[in-house]
Structure 1
Amino acid sequence: MSEFKPLVFSGVQPTGNLHLGNYLGAIRKFVALQESHDCIYCVVDLHSITAQLVHDDLPGQTRSITAAFLAAGIDPTKHIVFNQSRVRQHAELAWVFNCVARIGWMNRMTQFKDKAGKDRENASLGLLAYPSLMAADILVYRATHVPVGDDQKQHLELTRDIAAKFNNDFSAKIGDLGLGVEMEVGEETVNGFFPLTEPLIEGPATRVMSLRDGSKKMSKSDPSDLSRINLTDDADAISKKIKKAKTDPEPLPSELAGLKARPEAENLVGIYAALSDKTREAVIAEFGGQQFSAFKPALADLAVDRLAPIAAEMRRISADTTYVDGVLRDGAERAEVIAEATMKGVREIIGLLND
C-alpha cells in the first residue's frame, strides 16, 4: 500500500459539447469520488491545442466544461476546480517528462496513431507528447488515483512508467535528499518521489458508444448530432435521440450473453444500467424478451430524468461568467501551491537551481 496521501486527479478537454459518454465515463465519477477522496479536477486547455491549435472560442469552451462540473455536483470549495494553463508547473514538469519518456513509448500510443492517421509526419509534436503532458498533469500533484475510461488506460500505464523511471534514475538522490516515500511495488518496497498512480475504471458504462453506430465511441466530433446526447440537450432532444437510436429487429435477450454481437443493444442496456445505478444483468432481468419499442421509451424517460436537470443548471451557471471565472481563478491559486511544492522537489532532485 502506498504511503502517499490518497488524492484523485482528472481532467476534461474543452473541445466541443460534453456528451453522455463524458458524463457517465468521467464527470459522474468525479462527483462520487469527492465524497471519499480529496479531488483535483482540471479543464485541460493545453491539451486542446495539441491536435487543433486554432479554436473559435477556447475561453467559452473552458467555461462550459467548468459549468458542467459544477452543474453535475462538484463542490469547488471542498475540492479544486481550475484550468490547466493557469498553473505553469504543468508545462514545466511535462518538459522534464519529455526527457524521461522514450520515443518508442510514445510511438506505441494507440491514440496518437488514431488521431494522426496516415499523415503522421504532419502531426504536431504536441500531439505526440500528449501523454507526457498528461503524466505531468497527474504527477505534479502526486495523485494516487485517476478515474479513466478504457481508452485512456494506456496513457495512465505510461504515466506509471514515467514515474517508475524517474524514481529509478534518481533513486540515490531522492534518498539522500529525504524526498522519497516508501511504496510497495510487487513484493518489493521501494523509495520514490512519484507514486505509481492507479486507475479507477468501474461501472456498467465505462465506454459509451455512438447512438448511430454501436461499434464507434460516442464522440463530440461525430458529424451527426443524433449520435450523441449532449449535456446541453433539453428533454425533447434527449427523448428524440434515444428513440431514434439504431437498434436491430430482435427483442432484448433474456440473458446477458445474448448481447454479444449486438453492439447497439449492448450499448443501450449499458446506458440504462449506468443511469439507473443497476447492473446490466438487472436490466436484462427487467426488460429481457421485450421489443425496443418498449425499452426505448423507458430509457428515454430515465435519461430525461437524470440529465435534463443537469442541462438546465449548466445553462444557468454558464450565464454567470464572473462566477465561473472566480471558481477557476481560486482553484488555480490553490492548485499552484501543491504543484510548486512538487516542482521544487523535482528541481532539487535533478539539479536545477531553485529561486
Structure 2
Amino acid sequence: MKKRVFSGIRATGRLHLGNYLGAVKGMLEIQNTGKYETIYCVVDVHSITTPYDKEMLTKNKREIIIDYLAAGLDPEKSILIYQSDIPEHIELAFYFSTVVTIARMLHLPTYKEKIKQHPKNVTMALLNYPVLMAADILIYKVSLVPVGIDQEPHLEVAREIARKMNQIYGTDFPEPVRFATKGEYIPSLTGEGKMSKTIANSFINLTDSLEEIRKKIRSVPTASVSGGEMSHGVKTLFTFAQLYIPGQVEKFKKSYNDQSLQFVLLKDAITEAIYQELKPFQERRLQIAADQKYVDEVIKDGADRARKIARETVKEVKEKMGLI
C-alpha cells in the first residue's frame, strides 16, 4: 500500500503566492511522483478558531478548491476535501486530547502568537488547534506533510500524540515528517514577517493582473537602514529574485553593492516573471470556475473517499481505547 500524504490550507481567504510557493507546489510535486496517496484539504474548521465572517468562509473554501484544481491538483490522483465534511476529524481530536496536557498547548509559540493577535478571542478551540491538526494528519496515518517551517511545532505535537497513543493503547500511528519546499517561507511585501492573507498589503493573489502585481511589488520598501545592512524590504526583493529570476540575481546584487541599483528595474523583472508563471493558472481557473457541477462532484467524491479511511481509523481507536 502507498504511504499517505496530507496537507491543508485555512479558508481565511483566496490562495496567495505564499500559499502557492510554500504549500501547493510541494503538494503538486508529491502528487506527481505517483508514489503516494495524497489527501489535500481546505481546513475550514481551523478557520473558525479565530474571528471570521461566515459568508466569506463559505465563499473562500470553495474558491480554494478551485485554486487547487487550477494549480494542477488532480482529483484522479489526489483526494480533495473540506475538513468539515469529515466529522471523524473532530471526534478523533477529542480522543487525542486525553493524552495531551493543557501545559503542553500553552507552551506552543504559535498559540502565544495567536493570543497576541486576538486577545479578546482566546478560546478552547484556539488552544486545541494543534490537537485537531494532529487528528487531521493521523486519521489518514500520514507519513509526509508538505507545510512551511512555521508548522513544525504543530507537527511535533502530532508526533508526540502518535507516540503516546501507540504506547498507551497499542495503535499503529506513524510519526509524520515535514516535506520542505523551495519557497516554504515567502516574506511579506511590507518587508516585515511572512506573506499572509490576514495581513493587508502583504500578499499577491494568484488571480492578480500584471498591473496589480506590478503595483504591489513596486510598493515593497527599499529605504536604506543604518549600518549599511540590507533592509527587510530589499531582502524580500532578493528572495523573490532568487525564486523567479535566479539567472539575474548576481547582476542585481552587484549593482546593489555598488550602490547603483535602480530598484524599479529589479521590481519590474520580478513582476514579469511572477505574472508569466501565474498566467496559465489564471486561464485554467476561469475554465474550472465556470463548471460548478464539476467542482461539486470533486468535493463530494473527495468526502466519500476520505470518510471511508477516516471511519476505519476512528473505529480502530475506539476499539483500542475500550469504547467499543
TM-score normalised per structure 1 = 0.82
1:13 equivalent to 2:23? Answer no
Q: How many pairs does the alignment contain?
A: 314
Deviating more after overlay: 68-77 vs 285-294: 285-294
Identity of aligned residues (%): 39
Match of 1:34 in 2: 31
Q: Which whole-Å CA distance do the structure 2 matches of 1:288 and 1:164 have between them?
A: 47
1:285 equivalent to 2:250? Answer yes
Quick one: which amino acid aligns to residue 150 of structure 1? Answer: I
Q: Which whole-Å CA distance do the structure 1 matches of 2:267 and 2:105 have between them?
A: 42
Q: Which whole-Å CA distance do the structure 2 matches of 1:7 and 1:275 have between them?
A: 31
Match of 1:182 in 2: none
CA distances 1:91-129 after superposition (whole Å, capped 9, x unpaired): 111111111211111101222211222875741211110
Match of 2:137 in 1: 138
CA distances 1:154-198 after superposition (whole Å, capped 9, x unpaired): 11111111111111112xxx2xxxxxxxxxxxxxxxxx5100101
TM-score normalised per structure 2 = 0.90
Match of 1:148 in 2: 147
Quick one: which amino acid aligns to residue 123 of structure 1? Answer: V
Out of 181, 187, 207, the position equivalent to 1:232 is: 207
Match of 1:314 in 2: 285
Task: Name the Cα RMSD after superposition.
Answer: 2.2
Deviation, 1:288, is 2.2
Q: Which whole-Å CA distance do the structure 2 matches of 1:98 and 1:140 have between them?
A: 14
Alignment partner of 1:43: what SS? strand
1:72 equivalent to 2:43? Answer no
Match of 2:173 in 1: 194
Deviating more after overlay: 54-63 vs 87-96: 54-63
Deviation, 1:272, is 2.9
Asked if the contact 1:163/1:196 (under 8 Å) is kept, the reply is yes
* Structure 1: runs of 5+ lacking an equivalent: 175-191, 251-258
Deviation, 1:58, is 2.2
Out of 309, 314, 320, the position equivalent to 1:338 is: 309
Match of 2:258 in 1: none
Deviation, 1:314, is 2.4
Match of 2:192 in 1: 215
Alignment partner of 2:98: what SS? helix
Quick one: which amino acid aligns to residue 185 of structure 2? Answer: R
Report matched runs for 1:137-176 at 5 Å.
Answer: 137-170=136-169, 174=170
CA distances 1:22-55 after superposition (whole Å, capped 9, x unpaired): 1111111111110123210001111111112652
Question: Aligned in 2, Cα 1:289/1:95: closer, same or farther, shift over 3 Å?
Answer: same
Deviation, 1:240, is 2.1
Alignment partner of 1:100: what SS? coil
Alignment partner of 2:158: what SS? helix
Asked if the contact 2:23/2:181 (under 8 Å) is kept, the reply is no
Q: Which whole-Å CA distance do the structure 2 matches of 1:321 and 1:57 have between them?
A: 18
* Structure 2: runs of 5+ lacking an equivalent: 256-260
Quick one: which amino acid aligns to residue 187 of structure 2? Answer: M
Alignment partner of 1:202: what SS? coil
Report matched runs for 1:55-134 at 5 Å.
Answer: 55-117=54-116, 122-134=121-133
Question: Aligned in 2, Cα 1:298/1:129: closer, same or farther, shift over 3 Å?
Answer: same
Deviating more after overlay: 285-294 vs 39-48: 285-294
Alignment partner of 2:80: what SS? strand
Asked if the contact 2:241/2:249 (under 8 Å) is kept, the reply is no
Deviation, 1:219, is 1.4
Alignment partner of 1:17: what SS? coil
Q: Which whole-Å CA distance do the structure 2 matches of 1:222 and 1:119 have between them?
A: 13
Asked if the contact 1:40/1:79 (under 8 Å) is kept, the reply is yes
Asked if the contact 2:51/2:121 (under 8 Å) is kept, the reply is no
Quick one: which amino acid aligns to residue 189 of structure 2? Answer: L
